[in-house]
Structure 1
Amino acid sequence: MTTLAWIAVVVGLLLALAWYLSYSAARLDRLHAKVEGALSALDAHIVRRAEATLELANSGALDPASALLLVGAASGSLERVNEHTFAADPLEGQHFAGREGVESELTEVIHAALPPEVVAEIEEAGGTGAAALERLRAAGLRVQLARRFHNDAVKEVQRVRAKPVVRLFRLAGHATLPQTVEFDDALPSR
């Protein structure tokens, strides 16, 4: 092979490598954006779950002690969501800001205030209490789905960032690795 042929092969290989690195970096960027979007959706669903909890607590379908517990836990959840501002977020929206404990506590209070017999009474009575309970269930299901979707996106980012090429060429830049969100989000039983 002539020198010109070798130069053409080397240039071709360098162009292929440059294309692959550019493609990998763009894919990683899209995955990070997907994590941010999934976390925003999870935040929105958490707010809806807390609001549905407040609506149930204020519907008059529960005893005052249970309603007070629900109001306290739901208010705590809403306060933590409002404390979390993306402007001060070093990961640009790719983490949950340590709110897992508050959300698990809300789930525990929902389960304590809504044992199966209370749920059956609310459903049997109908009215605003039953409608609020159904909205709480729907919001809880959306929280479960949003959390799973977020965690799947985070796992995909972690898998891609573990590739040797991504680490060798530092395609993730200085972005911190996003983490999964783990909290109790079980729905009240029927």
Structure 2
Amino acid sequence: MSGLEVVLLALAVAAAAAGVVVSLRARRLDRLHQTVVKSRRALELALRARAQYARDFAGSGTLDVAGGILLTDAAEACLSKGMLPIVDDGLDGIDLEFASRGVADDRRSIESSLSRTLRLTVDELESDEIASDAQDVFERLARSRLDVRMTRTFHNSHVDQIRRLRRSFAVRVLRLAGRAPIPSTVDIDDE
């Protein structure tokens, strides 16, 4: 084997190794994008469940009239806006022109408002003030509030991973992200 053949063989091995590394990086980026979409769907479901249980708890008669009305209004507002995107990064497949009109900001402020209303009404209750027939709904509401916090944390963690990966030299130069939009974190008051 001549020196030229050795050099060519080394270049071929290096090119194959680089191709494998690039392929693995592209797969990881694709999986992370899919994970973000799934975690956003899970967050949407958790937000919807929280609003439904908040509405059910408001109607249970445990809260005073004013607290019940406040909580019902906040929960109904969340349920009525539940089909709107929570962030307007285009990852949901919703028309960007529609989403760019501040709809996502409105949705986040409504969800944050429900969190504040829950703190003002439900969190102020003592355990002996909760009627026995409302205890089940109260426990489901508490679990759904925890679900919102956890799913939002996971979602934002995945978004941060994508952002770090997309800032890497190989991803930027080789355009491994394609035309996929850069996902946004969900910043709401979730207690």
TM-score range with shorter-chain normalisation?
Answer: 0.7 to 0.9
Residue 82 of structure 1 and its aligned partner are, at CA, apart by 1.9
Asked if 2 retains the 8 angstrom alpha-carbon contact of 1:53 and 1:136, the reply is: yes
- Aligned-residue sequence identity (percent) comes to 31
By how many angstroms is 1:39 displaced?
A: 0.6
The equivalent residue for 1:138 is 143
Matches of 2:93 and 2:79 in 1, distance apart? 17
The answer to whether residue 138 in structure 2 is matched with residue 100 in structure 1 is no
Does the CA contact (< 8 Å) of 1:122 and 1:130 recur in 2? Answer: no
Counterpart-to-counterpart distance in 1, 2:138 and 2:59? 11
Q: Deviations over 1:16-35 (max 9, x none)?
A: 11111111000000011111
Matches within 5 A, 1:79-90: 79-84=80-85, 90=90
Give the secondary-structure state (helix, strand or coil) at the position aligned to 1:82: coil
Provide structure 1 residue ranges, at least 5 long, that are not aligned to the other structure: none
**1:160 is the counterpart of 2:165:** yes
1-structure distance, mates of 2:59, 2:121: 13
In the TM superposition, what are the counterparts of 1:118-129 in structure 2 within 5 Å? 118-123=125-130, 126-129=131-134
2:147 is aligned with what amino acid? R
Residue 69 of structure 2: aligned partner: 68
- Are 1:30 and 2:31 an aligned pair? yes
- Residue segments in structure 2 that go unaligned for 5+ positions in a row: none
Asked whether the 8 Å contact 2:55–2:71 carries over to 1, the reply is: yes
Given the alignment of the two structures, is residue 39 of structure 1 paired with residue 46 of structure 2, yes or no? no
Does residue 112 of the first structure (1) align with residue 113 of the second (2)?
A: no
In the alignment, which residue of structure 2 is the partner of 1:177?
182
Q: Which amino acid aligns with 2:108?
A: E
**Residue 22 to residue 115, structure 1, CA distance change in 2 (3 Å):** closer
Q: Determine helix, strand or coil for the equivalent of 1:83.
A: coil
What TM-score, normalized to structure 1? 0.86
Aligned length, in residue pairs: 181
Output the TM-score relative to the length of structure 2.
0.85
